[in-house]
Amino acid sequence: MDARRGNEQIVSGRRYWKVLALCLALTACQAPSSPASAEAAATPAPLAAASPATTPSPATGDPSRYPDASYTDGRLRPAYGWCVDGVEDAGKLQACGKDELAYQEGRLEEGASKAVTGLDAAAKHAFLATQATWRSDTDRHCAAPANAGVDDLQKAQECRLFRVANRADALLAQSGPPDTSYTQATLRPEFIRCVQQARGMNDHIRACGDTELAYHQTQVQAEVARLMNGPDGPAKDRWMDEQAHWAEDTDKRCATTSDRIGPMMDAQLCRLNRYANRAAELHARELAP
């Protein structure tokens, strides 16, 4: 994820992110997946500050210099992209990062709290030890070199933000209820009849799915357009972020893994369920001014 998205003005940045959200929601654009760290996090640390017990590695943004992609790719709020776009002042850059870090650390704290709920003393101790290791690794790889310029400061800052955001995503997903939006949905009777009349012929069944998917994609398109035309404000900003993440997750989870008929039909049904469920969700959604 490139945090320097948008244009130089906040208003222009909002327009860019709206186009991105529409693209993701309506045309199923391929968005980069967000890897999650396999480790946990501890208490918040100062932005781009190294742990005294470790030797910082210069933050370069080069993926080969990091142990895994959790340091270089992740899902941050569009507001952060607007804030840092075109910034050439280190103080302003750090202020943008501190605001985003506070948000992501709040999510991380919530996820960590849920993760330790119900654990016995030994398991909780092991979890906290993993947190300490995670934080040490983050501090070591996400530190800016001495006398760093704005570019290096931003690389170090985003390294830390990605790490925290990825871990928060992982813990919250781990502790949440099972997501059935990929496997279950209320579909139209026309689709059910079409599949029944196909009498097991795969090409006909896929044609039924194509027609049903096109219908629900149109419904999502209409609801997205309705919400996008509403008043600007924090509620819309959060929804735009949510919609982009929804499209990214759909593309990732419903990707075709093979050109064989079985996997292709599974991928189609996965996407069909997602769009049908999302259309229903958005239809009931109203954004506060």
User: The pTM is what?
Assistant: 0.55
Minimal CA–CA distance to 85: which of 6, 166, 151, 183?
Answer: 6
Q: Which residues pair with 143 in a beta bridge?
A: 58
CA quadruple 117, 241, 69, 42: dihedral positive or negative? negative
Closest CA to 105 of 24, 179, 27, 163: 163
Specify the DSSP class assigned to residue 28.
-
Both structure tokens of 65: 């210099």
Task: Name which of 60, 42, 49 is nearest 167 in CA terms.
Answer: 42
User: pLDDT 10s digit of each residue in the chain, 289 long?
Assistant: 444 433 333 333 333 334 444 444 444 333 333 333 333 333 333 343 333 333 344 444 455 678 899 999 988 887 888 888 888 888 888 899 999 999 999 999 999 998 898 888 999 999 999 989 999 999 999 998 888 888 888 899 999 999 999 999 888 888 777 788 999 999 999 999 999 999 889 999 999 999 999 999 999 999 999 999 988 888 888 899 889 889 988 998 999 888 888 899 999 999 999 999 999 999 999 988 7
Residue 63 has what pLDDT? 56
